């Protein structure tokens, strides 16, 4: 499946395929991207370790300078934008891609100017493009800001998606969502990955934790994460299981996307649970590791996800997980590493009352750690992406992860 004139050389290790020059394009290279900051960065570094040349392109934002070193040793370029930040128009990004000689581009995310720039690069070079929508084509996501996305699809995004040599889904449910809107491209189903932390190390306990056990949410503060429903469930838990409620505290940690944190704080006040909920703010690096290491459970009552890095991290830290089907991790339920919840307060409260202090939580924690190690290691996942890229550039057979 060759596209255009490629300039690749053969590596000594045949398992990695030919050495490729890969461009990774994303709207943000910083923590502003939420879970994409972890997953896109780890995937790119994994390809670099396999011997590929990887260059990363992203739009400048407030944290870009601070977070760029985390991509080392990969070359990262940030470009200023003009006009609305939600679109991220960057003439300089478009020019940089036009001047590049990559064998393949991999676009992460939709609805912004990078889609336009990547589509133009594909039309000019006739070389392959892989697109990872990262959950942005799921039904709930399409209903959110639906009018703006309908316009984007009409103007540029449908053309961009249909022109991709391959789409990348994080799970079967995401692939099904792509098919549901009429996309007929090949789809590669490759999950996110995780680096396993050393659990023999015990960092100091965060000062926002008190003597109670902690049920942690860690991620983007956004309505799709089911946080309003989680707060309502926490208030129901006080009435349903007061003995359990007194032993636990809910922590909602993460960065505020669109000003939703103020409403959540007010909701906690109105429900009378402000003393039983803490909002630690964004957590990164050592602070994030300490929060995960000292928490006792993890919750994600999401309405829509691609494949959440936060759940993989919780499993890696041996935390029992409460999550919805929308997290697209059925392996967690099958392995006994998670409790299924619905993004509805009464159901969340019932599942917490049933399982939060039960003996099964220890078994869940062990199962989650084992699942993270066996199914979601970055080294194996980078190899799957390398095999996909080799196939798309004519250097290998179609890998098993691809659904034609």
Asked if 297 and 322 count as a contact pair (C-beta separation under 8 A), the reply is yes
Residue 40 resides in a domain: yes
Q: d(Cα 43, Cα 195) in Å, to the nearest integer? A: 11
3-state secondary structure of 256: strand
In this structure, what token pair is assigned to residue 318? 């041996």
The Cα–Cα gap between 183 and 291 comes to 40
386 lies in the same domain as 347? no
CATH at 273: 3.40.50.2000
Q: Domain check: are 70 and 184 in the same one?
A: yes
What's the rounded Cα separation, in Å, for the pair 220 and 256? 6
H or E element in which residue 104 lies: strand 104-108
Beta-carbon contacts of 197 under 8 Å, excluding residues fewer than 6 positions away, are 289, 292, 293, 316, 317
Helix runs in 14-152, H state only: 35-49, 64-67, 91-99, 113-125, 139-143, 146-152
Nearest to 34 by CA among 385, 284, 296: 284
Residue among 22, 20, 184 nearest 118 (CA): 22
d(CA 403, CA 103): 22
In this predicted structure, what is the pLDDT of residue 74?
92
138 assigned to some structural domain:
yes
- Residue 131 falls inside a structural domain: yes
Same structural domain for residues 243 and 158? no
What domain range includes position 314? Answer: 213-375
- Per-residue pLDDT, 15: 54
Same domain, 259 and 227: yes
Residues 93 and 120 in one domain: yes
Question: Is residue 275 situated within a structural domain?
Answer: yes
From residue 362, how far is each of 93, 250, 297, 336, 365 by CA, in Å? 49, 19, 10, 11, 5
pLDDT of residue 215: 97
| Residue 371 maps to a domain | yes
Give the distance from CA 261 to its chain's centroid.
Answer: 20
Residue 238 lies in a domain: yes
Task: Determine whether 394 is exposed, middle or buried from the number of CB atoms within 10 Å of its CB (0-12, 13-18, 19+).
Answer: middle
Specify if 203 maps to a domain: no
Q: Containing H/E element for 363?
A: helix 360-375
Give the sign of the dihedral formed by CA 109, CA 110, CA 112, CA 118: positive
Query: Angle 173-33-156 (CA atoms, 0-180°, nearest 5)?
Result: 70
99 and 40 in a common domain: yes
Token duo for residue 169: 């889904």
Looking at the structure, tell me whether residues 281 and 384 fall in a common domain: no
Residues 58 and 47 reside in one and the same domain? yes
- Within this chain, do residues 50 and 72 fall inside the same structural domain, yes or no? yes
Same domain, 91 and 115: yes
As given in the structure block, the two tokens for residue 190 are 């490759």
Query: How many domains are there within the chain?
Result: 2
Label the pairing between strands 187-189 and 402-403: antiparallel
pLDDT at 251: 98
Residue 360 pLDDT: 73
Residue 4 lies in a domain: no
Mean pLDDT in consecutive groups of 10 residues from the start of the chain, 404 residues:
41 60 96 86 95 96 91 93 91 95 97 97 97 93 92 96 97 94 97 91 94 95 96 95 94 92 97 96 94 97 90 96 95 96 97 86 93 89 95 95 88
pLDDT score of 10: 40
The pLDDT of residue 17 is 66
The reply to whether 164 and 255 lie within a common domain is no
pTM: 0.78
Predicted pLDDT of residue 86: 87
pLDDT at site 153: 96
Q: What is the DSSP letter of 12?
A: S
At residue 277, the pLDDT reads 97
Co-location of 371 and 397 in the same domain:
no
């Amino acid at each position: 499946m060759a596209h255009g004139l490629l300039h690749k050389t053969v590596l000594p290790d045949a398992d990695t395929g030919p050495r490729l020059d890969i461009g990774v394009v994303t709207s943000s290279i910083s923590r502003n991207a939420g879970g994409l900051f972890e997953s896109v960065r780890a995937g790119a570094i994994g390809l670099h370790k396999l011997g590929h040349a990887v260059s990363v392109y992203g739009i400048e934002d407030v944290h870009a300078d601070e977070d760029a070193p985390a991509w080392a040793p990969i070359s990262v370029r940030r470009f200023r934008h003009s006009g609305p930040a939600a679109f991220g128009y960057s003439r300089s990004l478009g020019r940089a891609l036009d001047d590049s000689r990559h064998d393949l581009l991999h676009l992460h995310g939709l609805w912004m100017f990078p889609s336009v720039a990547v589509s133009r690069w594909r039309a000019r070079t006739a070389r392959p493009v892989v697109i990872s929508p990262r959950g942005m084509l799921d039904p709930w996501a399409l209903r959110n800001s639906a009018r703006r996305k309908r316009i984007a699809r009409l103007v540029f995004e449908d053309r961009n998606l249909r022109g991709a040599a391959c789409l990348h889904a994080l799970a079967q449910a995401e692939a099904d969502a792509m098919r549901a809107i009429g996309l007929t491209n090949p789809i590669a189903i490759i999950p996110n990955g995780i680096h396993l932390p050393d659990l023999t190390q015990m960092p100091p306990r965060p000062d926002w934790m008190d003597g109670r056990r902690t049920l942690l949410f860690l991620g983007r503060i956004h309505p799709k994460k089911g946080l309003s429903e989680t707060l309502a469930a926490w208030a129901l838990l006080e009435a349903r299981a007061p003995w359990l409620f007194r032993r636990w505290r809910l922590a909602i940690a993460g960065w505020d996307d669109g000003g939703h944190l103020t409403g959540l704080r007010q909701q906690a006040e109105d429900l009378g649970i402000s003393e039983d909920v803490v909002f630690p703010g964004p957590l990164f690096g050592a602070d994030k590791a300490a929060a995960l290491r000292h928490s006792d459970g993890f919750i994600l009552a999401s309405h829509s996800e691609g494949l959440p890095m936060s759940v993989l991290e919780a499993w890696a830290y041996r935390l029992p997980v409460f999550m919805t089907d929308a997290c697209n991790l059925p392996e967690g339920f099958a392995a006994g590493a998670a409790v299924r919840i619905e993004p509805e307060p009464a159901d969340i409260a019932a599942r917490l009352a049933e399982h939060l202090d039960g003996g099964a939580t220890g078994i869940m924690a062990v199962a989650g750690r084992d699942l993270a190690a066996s199914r979601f290691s970055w080294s194996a996942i980078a190899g799957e992406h390398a095999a996909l890229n080799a196939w798309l550039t004519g250097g290998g057979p179609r890998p098993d992860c691809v659904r034609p």
